[in-house]
Amino acid sequence: MRTHDTLPPPAEGEPADGTARAVPEPEPDRPVDGLCTALELDARQPLPELTAAVTGACDRAEARADGSVVLLRLPDAPAGTRAWPGAVDIQQINRWERAVRRLERLPALSITVASGACGGPALDLLLVSDYRIGSPDLRILAPVNDGHFWPGMAVHRISRQLGAARARQIVLWGDDIDAVRARDLGLIDQLADDTEEAAHTAAVLMGRISDRELAVRRQLLLEAQSLEFDEALGPHLAACDRELRRLAAAAAAAAAEPGGPAGAPGE
């Protein structure tokens, strides 16, 4: 049963068709060398506004050509933001999870810069990023309500990325994770004193390889932990066939160029 296809009635004030209320437009891009679609998350915003901001960033990233990068800035969250998601309903949670999933599957590569306290919505975005940069003061906060870890898709991603044993320690005990441990666990890839410089360097390097072909490899990685070999073989063969055709087309295009292999002197 696909439980997400049947949702409870909308909460008071929500449109009957399940769409989000109109919310303010997200801040415009702050591109790095013309490569990035940037989003700075304000964890104090209501969930519908956070969802709209992530959706808007996805819209802008999909409108750009290959080679684009999404840069997510997760600044220090204010005190008292450990509890998540607050007074919301299941429709709002569903829309948020779908927006985060869309970000996770974008053709563009994503870079996240996290500093200070990182929990709730910031943790969700950190977990779906391709490259994660943390400041030395980074502290990942478990999203806990009355002593219980919020049972959203962060639980699923933590388990898939870290394995059941390490995930159990985090989810059941709800301990904070400092920057060094986050790096050791693989929750972040780089610790940097100058996170903006690190993000700039990563954006330049990743922009050279960010395209739909890389998105195919990412999807294969995501599926590898849940599919048996025989189930995974079909998607991998399809990806291999796609790559062979891409390489053949590139070789044909190079041969057609003046001075290319087909037109080289002496042939």
Is 202 among the domain residues?
Answer: yes
Share of the chain above pLDDT 90, in %: 44
- Mean pLDDT over residues 219-226, rounded? 79
Same domain flag for 139 and 241:
no
- Mean pLDDT over residues 224-249, rounded? 85
Residues in the chain: 267
Same domain flag for 37 and 127:
yes
Cα end-to-end span (Å), the chain? 63
How does pLDDT run across 16-40, given as a tens digit for each residue? Answer: 444 444 444 444 444 454 568 899 9
How does pLDDT run across 160-186, given as a tens digit for each residue? Answer: 899 889 999 899 988 889 999 999 999
Q: What is the mean pLDDT of the chain?
A: 82
* Residue 49 confidence (pLDDT): 96
* Residue 81 confidence (pLDDT): 64
Which one, of 69, 113, 114, lies nearest residue 215 by Cα?
69
Same domain flag for 96 and 206:
yes
Inter-residue contact 16 to 8 (CB < 8 Å): no
Which one, of 128, 124, 96, lies nearest residue 109 by Cα?
128
- Name the strand (E) or helix (H) holding 204: helix 195-207
- Mean pLDDT over residues 194-202, rounded? 91
Is 263 among the domain residues?
Answer: no
Same domain flag for 183 and 233:
no
Domain range enclosing 237: 213-257
Same domain flag for 139 and 251:
no
Higher pLDDT, 267 or 66: 66
Which one, of 169, 124, 174, lies nearest residue 149 by Cα?
174
Please give the Cα distance from 217 to 235 (Å, whole number). Answer: 10
Same domain flag for 119 and 186:
yes
* Residue 221 confidence (pLDDT): 83
How does pLDDT run across 71-119, given as a tens digit for each residue? Answer: 999 999 876 567 889 899 999 999 999 999 999 988 888 999 999 999 9
CATH number at residue 159: 3.90.226.10
Residue 65: other Cβ atoms inside 10 A: 8
Same domain flag for 231 and 168:
no
* Residue 39 confidence (pLDDT): 93
Check: pTM over 0.85? Answer yes or no. Answer: no
- 187 pLDDT more than 90: yes
Inter-residue contact 27 to 40 (CB < 8 Å): yes
* Residue 131 confidence (pLDDT): 94
Query: How many domains does the structure of the chain reveal?
Result: 2
Q: How confident is the model at residue 66 (pLDDT cuts 50, 70, 90)?
A: low
| Sheet-wide strand order for 131-134 | 36-40, 69-74, 109-114, 131-134, 190-191
* Residue 216 confidence (pLDDT): 81
